[in-house]
Amino acid sequence: MPKYDSWKEMPIAGVIDKPATAREYNTGTWRIMRPIVDKDACINCMQCWLYCPDMAIDGIVKEDGKTEMVGFNYDYCKGCGTCAKVCPVNAITMKPETEFLK
């Protein structure tokens, strides 16, 4: 959220003058099921990366040109489980968030 010293600095008509400010709101707090990836089973096909509605899966292209699924961004993952359903090798399991409470 942009900070202004005075109301006079605020843009008119509800214009948001900075892009992608929604990142300051962590939707990960909504989650009740946590996706866990088994990296040994994962074939790095990136289907989960493509489907994730919350852009909460990080992926990279390595130097040798192969894709790699790095992991989940739990700040934003809402725990819908779409990644677990589209995974062709069932490498992603959904576990209740209560198991991770300390």
Partner 1 sequence: MPVNMKQLINLVAKEDWPFTQGHRLCPGCNAPMVAKWATMTAKALGYEPVVGAATGCLEVSTTIYPFTAWNVPYIHNAFENVAATISGAEAAYRSLKNRGKLKTDKPIKFIAFGGDGGTYDIGLQSLSGAVERGHDFLYILYDNEGYMNTGNQRSGSTPPGADATTEPVGKVKTGKVQFKKNIVEIIGAHENVYAATASTSDPFDFMAKVEKGLKHEGPAFIAVLAPCVRFWRIPESDGPKITKLAVETKYWPLYEIDRGVYKITRKPRNFKPIEEYIRSIGRFRKALQHPEYKEVIEEMQKYVDTRWERLLKFEEATKGMYLR
- Contacting positions for partner 1 (CB under 8 A): 1-2, 14, 16, 18-27, 30-31, 46, 49-51, 53-56, 59-61, 65, 67, 73, 75-76, 78-82, 84-86
Q: How far is the CB of 11 from partner 1 (least distance, A)?
A: 10
Which is closer to partner 1, CB of 66 or CB of 102? 66
Question: Which residues on adjacent β-strands are paired with residue 57?
Answer: 72
Report the alpha-carbon distance of residue 90 to residue 68 in Å, rounded: 16
Of 42 and 82, nearer to partner 1 (C-beta) is 82
Measured CA distances, 65 to 33, 61, 62, 68, 101 (Å)? 33, 6, 5, 10, 38
Which CB sits closer to partner 1, 41 or 55?
Answer: 55
Q: Which of 56, 57, 59, 1 is nearest to 30 (CA)?
A: 56
C-beta of 95: minimal distance to partner 1 in Å?
14
CA dihedral angle for residue 15, residue 8, residue 26, residue 81, rounded to 10 degrees: -10
The residue among 19 and 101 lying less far from partner 1, judged by its C-beta, is 19
